[in-house]
Structure 1
Amino acid sequence: MNTSHHVVVVGAGYTGMFTAIRLAHRTRRTDVRITLVNPSERFVERLRMHQIAAGQELAYHRIPEILDGTGVTFVQGYATAIDPEARRVTVDDTEVLAYDTLVYALGSSTDTGRVPGADTHAFTLNSPETAGRFAARLAEVAASGGTVVVGGGGPTGIEAATEIAESHPGLHVTLVSTNEPGGMLGPKARAYLHRAMDRLGITVVTGARITKVLPDAVELADGRTLPSDATLWTTGVKVSPLAAASGIATDDRGLITVDATLRSVSHPQIHAVGDAAAVQMDFGQLHGTCQSGLPTAQYTADTIARLIRGKAAKPFRFGYFHEPLSLGRRDAVIQFTKADETPRRMRLTGRTAVMYKEFVSGSPIKTFGWSKRVNATTIVSKGGRATHQPAA
């Protein structure tokens, strides 16, 4: 067994953090060293950014405190370069970390570069800081009973719009979406969602595409202009260009192309997890959610531990289980799904759904703590027989 193996994990979001902590537990009786690199010492609960945007304060989780007792070394800084041939990561253009195995866990963010004005006139939920700036602006707009436009009708847009409308009932909230919000839900869960938005006074504009963001309005493709005292942008995803710039094989969006064991097809010593990986299953490519991201982290930690011990890696298997949506602090809807994310008949609404969603949102922090002592699992479904083998 190699007793001086160095694993570097870049990115301390949900997936990077879980990979580092679980791997530390799985290799605790060896001399494996693990280093976790992240620009900020704060662990960001991305699942709760819409709460900050609505003006709520969240707990401040420090990464060094979360890692306490694991033996993982934390390096604060940006990974600015990767040399996959020499197996080196450069941090802040100065510090160089040599690695035997690299875990690439740089997640995604909202892309404001595709629509004119979105980068300068719209707010995002990309970080606590950007969400906090939106919250400050929201307080100003609420004082005058102004209008807020949320661009994007996906889960993030839905949760943000409902949170804002509930927290600031005097605001006029408009949700603009190309597709019907909640289209991934079953008919009854979708109907419940729309009743909730009606109850909260949210104006839903569907079949519409924002083509320009102005300081005080948004322009739509059909020529309409909607007034907006504050625009929140939640649609479109981009990933870090670091992998592609480093010569690691990526797809056309910059995600690392991986094999059935989530290792880079061009550099097998590099493992990609979460939003950073183009993971193909038989039902299609996984999309960036905590639901699929944490299982990739769990699998990768276990796989690295197996490889270090000289064992073969098993293919990654995963199936979706649910689609949880908070609708403010007092309402929610949970749609249970098949492995390919098509809706089942079962759903939860109201208070039961609120408790379920709160458990889901809070479980990663708890899982990190449990994983210091036991091999806590985050894989609810492996997809059954349909996903015994990932797609080629």
Structure 2
Amino acid sequence: MTEKQIVVLGAGYAGLAAATRAGKRGRVTLVAPEARLLHRIRQHETAAGHPEHRPALTEVLRGRAVRHIAARATELDLAGRKVLLDNGDALAYDTLVYALGSRTARLGVPGADEHAYTAERAAEVAERLRTADRPGTVAVVGGGATGIELAAELAEAHPGWTVRLVAADRVGGWFSAKGHDHVHRVLRGLGVGIDEHSAVTAVDAGGLTTTAGRIPADLVVWAASMEPHPLAAEAGLAVNPAGQAIVDDHLRSVSHPEVHVVGDAAEVTVPGTGTLRMGCATALPQGQYVGKLIAGRTDKPFAFRYVVQCLSLGRRDGLVQLIHGDDSMRAGALTGAAGRVIKAAILKSVVLSLR
């Protein structure tokens, strides 16, 4: 175990969880440019200007035999079992954990690259709002969980601004009737304008062009669907049409079994549960599992069942949607202060779970 060269790419939820567990019994090299956890599920708070909760990687990795290299992986030599880095180095590996995750997809919409801030640029959004000469209109694009949380947080933190949530489909349409209605009630109570069935076809300096008409905006925050990092496909790992690596029941690449792929970068299908969606709720347990597998603490196939879906709706409200193990909706949901308290507890538990 100690002689094997174990390399983990990515310091998100899956990558860190794998590194800390594998690092209990073997030496691990973690490759990631960040000095702190990105903590994607709190980016809406950062965008609103609230203090960041991003623990240093040194603290998360404390007490583990993990060496952190602050660099980016630029190429995978799968035949030679090497990772090429942007600092010019090449790392050999016996076992590779690929956990480069996903990024916000701009979907090829003209002008999105130039005029929209993705959720990953949350700190820049906060700075734009802080330094603006006067309040204006913020258009948040995307009716999924990230878009909903961003719209609610921005509206509550910046009441002088007009916030509009623009979605190609229904906002929160996947929730139960109770969950869906609560999301809309809270958003409207915060003054958020909801533009549903309004697919964005172009972005420019003055706002959005959509299939339902023009939406003027001084600031566009892009929170549409996610896409996996392209390195897996570029390197030659077997991937699905979306670019996610296809893995077996031990989360090993079906084309290169010495490579484990975890988190948003992987297409993971669990019997009785189905194909897992992207997100912290699925990435973290995958990382924990692979770390234990590498450390020899398990040899069982990966198993997973869903428990809840949850949203922050500003500082004082939240939604905890009850679901079945296969991610389908139950009728019940916890809302209001109770939903917010539970979501806050889950946020805190995520960092603790990384170790």
- TM-score normalised by L of structure 2: 0.96
1:136 equivalent to 2:135? Answer no
Q: CA deviation at 1:59?
A: 3.4
1:178 counterpart residue number? 168
| Correspondence for 1:251 among 209, 225, 240 | 240
Aligned pair count? 354
1:336 equivalent to 2:348? Answer no
2:278 counterpart residue number? 288
Q: Distance in 1 between matches of 2:67 and 2:82?
A: 16
Q: How does 1:96-245 map to 2 (within 5 A)?
A: 96-126=90-120, 130-141=121-132, 144-222=134-212, 224-245=213-234
Q: CA deviation at 1:3?
A: 4.1
Give ranges in structure 1 of 5+ residues lacking alignment: 372-392
2:313 counterpart residue number? 327
One-letter identity of the residue aligned with 1:214? D
2:346 counterpart residue number? 360
Q: Distance in 1 between matches of 2:2 and 2:283?
A: 29
Q: CA deviation at 1:113?
A: 4.9
Secondary structure of the structure 1 residue equivalent to 2:295 = helix
One-letter identity of the residue aligned with 2:187? M
Secondary structure of the structure 2 residue equivalent to 1:18 = helix
Q: Distance in 2 between matches of 1:151 and 1:60?
A: 25
Q: Distance in 2 between matches of 1:295 and 1:43?
A: 17
Could you give the per-residue CA deviations for residues 64-83 of structure 1, whole angstroms, max 9, x where no partner exists?
A: 23212112111110011111
Distance 1:124 1:3, change over 3 A: closer
Q: CA deviation at 1:346?
A: 3.0
Distance 1:24 1:82, change over 3 A: same
1:376 counterpart residue number? none
Q: CA deviation at 1:93?
A: 5.3
Q: CA deviation at 1:244?
A: 1.4
Q: Distance in 1 between matches of 2:56 and 2:2?
A: 30
1:264 equivalent to 2:253? Answer yes
Give ranges in structure 2 of 5+ residues lacking alignment: none
1:278 equivalent to 2:267? Answer yes
One-letter identity of the residue aligned with 2:58? P
Q: Distance in 2 between matches of 1:99 and 1:270?
A: 10
| Correspondence for 2:68 among 63, 74, 78 | 74
1:19 counterpart residue number? 18
